[in-house]
Structure formats: structure tokens, C-alpha cells
């Protein structure tokens, strides 16, 4: 992105922690990007790259197939920090000797600083670190000295201070490494001399310029879903080009209770040029009698594209399609582990670009989710909105097991509203990553007064998660669950039984289908 004065390039060797490195660097207000270790770096404006970080990875340099960098890479005159596998690459490249360790060391260890180095300034002599290695350095590479050791490793940190090349045999980016933040900041500020001026304000300013340069007087169309990403995307583009942004908000009949009206009102107060379309009738008509989850998703995606295209034709003369793509999606599709197999639902309207020949505008493609939330706050979105739980593109359709009908959507919408309202009332909504209700395709016997009833069963689902990759069921207080259950059964005619889902992910997914 233009406008960054300084950046770090992180070369990815396949560590599960690579995204964490990027987040730590950005928390220090330095811009960074992740690229596969074998990417063609000549495509980068290397004048802007102020430093390189080599990630960890599962390989061993004893394997012939181990990923390596081109020999010439190290002729760059830039600071380098190698982490775990990255450190072994450095040792190997500069003539050190590696031996396979007796035992693969993984987990907590005590690190002791044994030599003065700007990398460890302001740190206690001994601290806890998170180790990970199968090989260790038997003979130091030429020009390098050991900076620190652990119980089992003489050289747990090495450096060639003259060339500003550093290696760590532990992960400073994970929170089990007590002083990790200091180490990363020492590298960025003391060793690389970065200023740390990559702030949200700077991002907004440079994004607006970028969008204006790219779009000029062209018209941009954007599908908004009521989610955080597409809304922040809309506000940012609107700041840049005003009325030339056309945001299309489609009611697919599968939104939460009052969602269409609420989101429409909010986007209007943010002065977005909005085209609300109520197509709930068409969606429900096409979904009639369909219970297979994949077919539901396909029908919803295709119907969305039909309506979106129809709107775009009405507006006329559109050249650009905007999308709220985030950085993790970008990384997933470029990582050397092979392209990601999961295709996100209709938010990233894949079918459109090809049929409509539109040029893409993706202002959030360099941001992580938490950065998008901060951006939303700075752009003036209501806080309660920014903290909302994620909601799937196909909406209630994947939470109604079996056929989707208007009546079942209404039942589920009512139950869901009660669940969420109670979580807010008790002040626990923000502690939960996602909470929702699922309507099951079974009926159960109950009694209401003297009458036997034969009505619907709903399941409540609440999960806690840091990133959505893994999730644990939320331990919601029993009294709160009792209150929610009572209200749902009492207030909604047609539901007489409420159950709570206590499965974690993996093996279960967050959504039921």
C-alpha cells in the first residue's frame, strides 16, 4: 500500500505462529506483510522493506527437501531476525554446524541472557520462553556470537551484531514467552530504527488517497451484509468517493429479527449511498423444499448474485466492485501450503467479477479482524455494532435444519432475539465469540396447562474463541440459561423445548450446517 514509509517482510516457512508475528509487529505500529519464503521478492519495492523476519517451520535442515532461501538473499543490507527454523537457516547459511538434538524440545524453558545485546535491553537476565527445536547449533557460524542459553542449549540466541543478523531458538511472538514484546520492540526500534508510525489514522488517510487514485470519478458497487467488514469497507470508501459508492443491501429473508430495518437505518446515519432491496420473497421461494445445506448455500449465493447484478445494471456505468476481504483470507490463498480449499460464502462474490468484468477494490485486505474493529471505531461506527458476533452469509438458512419457510425463519428469529437480549442484559455478550439458536427438524411432546403439545425444539449454541479456528462451548450460568429457556417457551408459540449444545470445535463446527 502506498504511504507506508517503512515495513517488515515476514518470510513464512510454515510455522503455525506466523500470523502472530505479523500481529505483534503491527501492535508495535510497524507495517508488515507475510510472504511465502519462496516468493519472488523482486516484485516488492525492496527500498521500502526495512527488515526481514524469518518464521519458524516444521522442517529440519537435515532433510534434502527442507525449504531454503536463495544464497544471494543474505547480501541484503537489512536487519534480519530468524526465529526457530529461521535461526537454523542463518546458522546453516553462514557455515555453522547443526546437530539433530537427542530429544525434540518443545514448550516452556528458562532463557538466560549471557551477553549484552540491544536485542535484550531492558530485559531481566532470566525469563520464561517458549522453545521449539529439533536441531541445535554445535558450532557457531562465522561472525556470530551466542547471546543467551537455556538448560539444554548453549546457543539459544545468536547474533552477528555488525551485520544486524539475529537468531532466536524460541518464539518471541507467543504469549508464553514472557518478554517477547520487549524483544520484538527492541528489534524494530533499536536495531532497525523504525519510527512506529503505522497508526489507524495513518491507514485511513493513505487508504482514502489510494481509493481516490484508483477509482477517480468511477462508480463502485459494494454488497453490504450488515456485518462489520462490509460496513467498515462502505464507510471508508464513502469517505473517499461519496455518492460514487453504491452500497447494495439485500434482505434475503434470512436475517436476524429487525436486522434489515436496523442496519438500513444505521448505514443511512453514516451517510452511505444505500440501495436497500427487499428480496425475501424470492429467496424463500427458491429455497422451498430444499433441506440439503450445500444446496441451500448455492441457491442463496446465486440468488444474491442475480439481484446484485440487476441492481448494478439499474445504477449503470459501474466499473469497480468493492469487497471487504481481510488479510487472513489473502494469506490463506497465497501461502505455500497450497491454496486454501474453503471458499467463503457469498460475501466474496466470486461469480460476479467474471460475469461483470469489474475491477476489484479491497481496502481492508491488509488488516486482521481486530484491526478492522479499531478502524470501525475511528470511523465513527457505534461500539455495540463493532462488537457484534459474526453472522454467516446464508444467515438463518444454515440454522434451520431441514426446509426453510417464512414461518420457521420467524420462529428462529424470535428465539434468537431473546437469547441475545438476555446475554446483553446480563453483561456477558462480549465474553462470547458467537451465540445463536438452531431450529431442529424434530417435534417433541410438551404440556401447556392441561393440553399436550407437539412442537418445535431449539438448541442454543454459545462458544468462546480467540480466532474462530478453535472454539469451546461457553460455560453460561445455569440461571441465565434457565431464564432464556423459560422466556423462549413462554413467549414463542410453537417452541416447547430448549437444549444447550456442549460440543467444542474440533471435532464439531461452530455452525450446525
Catalytic residue positions?
84, 171, 173
- How would you list the strands of the sheet with 274-278, edge to edge? 274-278, 245-251, 219-224, 318-322, 359-361
Q: Which three cell numbers stand for residue 410?
A: 420467524
The b/e string for 19-38 (b: 16+ C-beta within 10 A; e otherwise) is: bbbbbbbbebebbbbbbbbe
CA–CA separation, 499 and 488 (whole Å): 11
Torsion angles phi and psi, residue 4, rounded to 5: -80, 130
CB neighbours of 362 closer than 8 A, spacing ≥ 6?
A: 322, 323, 324, 325
Q: Strand ranges (DSSP E) for 140-172?
A: 145-149, 157-160, 165-168
Helix (H, G, I), strand (E, B) or coil at 215: helix
Residue 125: DSSP 8-state:
S
User: Could you tell me the CA-to-CA distances from 264 to 272, 295, 302, 345 in Å, in that order?
Assistant: 10, 29, 23, 22
What are 346's three cell numbers? Answer: 457469498
Q: Are 91 and 141 in contact (CB under 8 A)?
A: yes
420, 262 contact by CB (below 8 A): no
β-pair partners for 129: 109
The answer to whether the CB of 381 falls within 8 A of the CB of 235 is yes
Report CA-CA distances (Å) from 195 to 185, 199, 351, 420.
11, 11, 42, 43
Amino acid at each position: 500500500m502506498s504511504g507506508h514509509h517503512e515495513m517488515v517482510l515476514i518470510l513464512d516457512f510454515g510455522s503455525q505462529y506466523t500470523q502472530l508475528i505479523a500481529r505483534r509487529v503491527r501492535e508495535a505500529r510497524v507495517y508488515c506483510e507475510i510472504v511465502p519464503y519462496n516468493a519472488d521478492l523482486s516484485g516488492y519495492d525492496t527500498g521500502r522493506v526495512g527488515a526481514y523476519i524469518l518464521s519458524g517451520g516444521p522442517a529440519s535442515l537435515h532433510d534434502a527437501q527442507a525449504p531454503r532461501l536463495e544464497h544471494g538473499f543474505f547480501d541484503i543490507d537489512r536487519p534480519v531476525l530468524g526465529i526457530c527454523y529461521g535461526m537454523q537457516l542463518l546458522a546453516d547459511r553462514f557455515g555453522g554446524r547443526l546437530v539433530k538434538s537427542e530429544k525434540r524440545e518443545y514448550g516452556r524453558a528458562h532463557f538466560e541472557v549471557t551477553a549484552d545485546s540491544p536485542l535484550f535491553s531492558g530485559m531481566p537476565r532470566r525469563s520464561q520462553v517458549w522453545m521449539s527445536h529439533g536441531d541445535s547449533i554445535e558450532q557457531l557460524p562465522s561472525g556470530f556470537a551466542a547471546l543467551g542459553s537455556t538448560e539444554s542449549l548453549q546457543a539459544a540466541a545468536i547474533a552477528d551484531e555488525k551485520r544486524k543478523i539475529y537468531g532466536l531458538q524460541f518464539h518471541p511472538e507467543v504469549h508464553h514467552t514472557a518478554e517477547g514484546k520487549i524483544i520484538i520492540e527492541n528489534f524494530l526500534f533499536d536495531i532497525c530504527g523504525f519510527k512506529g508510525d503505522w497508526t489507524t489514522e495513518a491507514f485511513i488517510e493513505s487508504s482514502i488517497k489510494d481509493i481516490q487514485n484508483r477509482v477517480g470519478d468511477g462508480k463502485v458497487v459494494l454488497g453490504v451484509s450488515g456485518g462489520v467488514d462490509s460496513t467498515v469497507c462502505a464507510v471508508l470508501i464513502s469517505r473517499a468517493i461519496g455518492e460514487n459508492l453504491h452500497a447494495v443491501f439485500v434482505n434475503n429473508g434470512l436475517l436476524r429479527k429487525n436486522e434489515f430495518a436496523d442496519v438500513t437505518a444505521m448505514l443511512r446515519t453514516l451517510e452511505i449511498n444505500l440501495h436497500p432491496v427487499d428480496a425475501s420473497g424470492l429467496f424463500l421461494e427458491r429455497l422451498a423444499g430444499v433441506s440439503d445445506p450445500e444446496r441451500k448455500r448455492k441457491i442463496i449465493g446465486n440468488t444474491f448474485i442475480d439481484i446484485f447484478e440487476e441492481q448494478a445494471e439499474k445504477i449503470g456505468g459501474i466499473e469497480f466492485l468493492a469487497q471487504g476481504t481481510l488479510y487472513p483470507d489473502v494469506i490463506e490463498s497465497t501461502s505455500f501450503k497450497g491454496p486454501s480449499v474453503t471458499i467463503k460464502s457469498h460475501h466474496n462474490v466470486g461469480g460476479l467479477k467474471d460475469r461483470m468484468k469489474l475491477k476489484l477494490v479491497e481496502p481492508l485486505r491488509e488488516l486482521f479482524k481486530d484491526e478492522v474493529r479499531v478502524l470501525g471505531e475511528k470511523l465513527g461506527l457505534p461500539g455495540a455494532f463493532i462488537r457484534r458476533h459474526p453472522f454467516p452469509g446464508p444467515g438463518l438458512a444454515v440454522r434451520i435444519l431441514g426446509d426453510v419457510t417464512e414461518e420457521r425463519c420467524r420462529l428462529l428469529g424470535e428465539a434468537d432475539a431473546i437469547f441475545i437480549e438476555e446475554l446483553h442484559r446480563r453483561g456477558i455478550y462480549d465474553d462470547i465469540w458467537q451465540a445463536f439458536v438452531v431450529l431442529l427438524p424434530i417435534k417433541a411432546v410438551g404440556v401447556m396447562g392441561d393440553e399436550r403439545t407437539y412442537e418445535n425444539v431449539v438448541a442454543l449454541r454459545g462458544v468462546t474463541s480467540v480466532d474462530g479456528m478453535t472454539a469451546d462451548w461457553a460455560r453460561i450460568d445455569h440461571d441465565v440459561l434457565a431464564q432464556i429457556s423459560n422466556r423462549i417457551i413462554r413467549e414463542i408459540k410453537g417452541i416447547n423445548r430448549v437444549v444447550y449444545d456442549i460440543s467444542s470445535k474440533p471435532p464439531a463446527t461452530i455452525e450446525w450446517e
